[in-house]
Amino acid sequence: MTSFVVLIEGPVLQGQSFVSALRFMQQAVLAGHTVDSVFLYRDAVHAASALIDLPSDEPNLSARLQQFCCQHQIPLLFCVTAAEKRGVCSNEVQPAQGYTAAGLAEFAMRLAQTDKLVQF
């Protein structure tokens, strides 16, 4: 079976990036493949914000991603530099539960140990 690293770059509150990534990961796991890690980069790092407060009629894709990764024991990483630039995390603001800060070097090391990269 194939192992994947999933890279998400699109924003969590608009577009298809998170929906498509979640669907891909669900189908990959059902087919017996593994998702070794998920890495959020660029505007996708907003999903790691603990300050997301959506109306009840809007899907919380950040929470859905976190739940899926927790259920399947998939590390959910976000680029700390991109997050700091966007005010998502700092010394005063911590990331949402389940999200782990990482650098591009860690992403590269994980990528070197997997079969394929899938980017959204």
Residues with catalytic roles: 79
Helix axes 17-30, 61-71, angle to 10 degrees: 20
Tokens 């407060």, residue located: 53
Vertex 18 angle, CA 47 and 98, to 5°: 40
- Answer yes or no: are the C-beta atoms of 41 and 120 closer than 8 Å: no
Longest dimension (CA), the chain: 42
- Answer yes or no: are the C-beta atoms of 114 and 5 closer than 8 Å: yes
- Answer yes or no: are the C-beta atoms of 6 and 37 closer than 8 Å: yes
